[in-house]
A = this chain, B = another copy of it.
Amino acid sequence: MTEERRRAVLHAIVEGYVATHEPVGSKALAETRALGVSSATIRNDMAILEEEGLIAQPYTSAGRIPTDKGYRSFVDQLAAAALPEAHRRAIGTFLSDAVDLNDVVERSVRLLSQLTRQVAVVQYPSLRESAVRRVELVRMGAEHALVVVVSSDARVEQQSIALGEATSDEDFERAVREVNATAHGLGGARLEAALTLWVQAPDQVPWAGTVADAVVAATRGGTVERVVFAGASNLARAGSGLEADTIAPVLDALEEQVVLLRLLHEMAAEGDDVSVRIGAETHYEALSRTSIVAAAYGRDASSLVGALGPTRMDYPGTMGAVRAVARYLSKVVEL
């Protein structure tokens, strides 16, 4: 019994602190929450919770606030909140008329930032290995060209290459014809083999190898290492609970991508439905005052979508929204 009540006290502290952003004391708890015990009892429980490292006092004789560990305990026995009906509908209408992959990602991240009132991040979905549908070469100036590869699953990749030395128009056109004849419909190892042969053909243009590399790269599968974010203003908005000098490093981390990507990778490895990192659990100094809630989506659940905000955030609500958006994204992307 008493163990159970201590849990309730912890939950009450978390919820109180999230709501007011002020340390919560035993008396206030006893009065507002129907815990059925007196403040003195709560004080005893608090002492134990503090020993366990779940809550802390900002200074002597102040109320308690949850530690990272406290939030963690709270989150671990938590089912994500159900999404309000209005939000559920918003997801459908907002995402349904996206025109291409970029648009889907863009809309998702914007939507999620509005639903959660946090910074939303979406990692680009992983791509499966695809077959070449069409290779197009476009000259740009005398010495450069753009390789455009359209592949069977509607990806379009482009890359500019250097031609090295002047190439006649005839050679150029011939290369386009040949590479299309060679690569069309192929992917993976067979594509590579065919292109290798083509590159080694007699009288081949000197930049054939570069083109071949670009084509292979464009059809390769795997996760694109890129995240987009939206809702940065939510970090700065009054009541976010982050001081001005804490938010600059966070913005840096968001823009730099690399930190964020590494973190998302780690979280993907955990493989939970919705995975949460709280404060110092992120292992990044810049993010030590923030939490991130993420869920996998897409084929093999290989990419992530998430929300990032102050440790003092509404975990149930955020988890619900993130999960809902992830599910919707999975549907759209798996086509």
Which A residues form the contact surface with B (CB < 8 A)?
99-100, 133-134, 136, 138, 140-141, 146, 148, 150, 152-154, 156, 158-160, 230-234, 236-238, 243-245, 247-252, 255, 335
Contact = CB atoms under 8 A, between A and B. Distances in A.
Given A156-B158, A248-B233, A134 B133 contact: no
16 contacts: A99-B159, A99-B160, A138-B152, A138-B153, A140-B335, A148-B150, A156-B158, A230-B255, A231-B255, A232-B232, A232-B255, A233-B249, A233-B252, A233-B255, A234-B248, A244-B244
B233 A236 contact: no
A81 to B, nearest CB: 26
A158 B255 contact: no
- Interface-central residue, A153, A233, A234, A243, by most chain B CB under 10 Å: A233
A152 B146 CA distance: 11
Given A133-B138, A146-B154, A154-B158, 12 more contacts: A99-B160, A100-B159, A232-B251, A233-B251, A233-B255, A234-B248, A236-B236, A236-B244, A236-B247, A236-B248, A236-B251, A238-B244
Main secondary structure of the interface of A (DSSP, over half): mixed
The oligomer's copy count stands at: 2
Contacts of A252: 233
A230 B136 CA distance: 32
Contacts of A237: 245, 248
Contacts of A153: 138
Nearest to A103: B160
Contacts of A250: 233
Contacts of A231: 255
A264 B129 CA distance: 41
Contact of A134 (B100, B134, B247): B134
Contacts of A150: 136, 138, 148
Contacts of A236: 236, 244-245, 247-248, 251
Contacts of A136: 133-134, 150
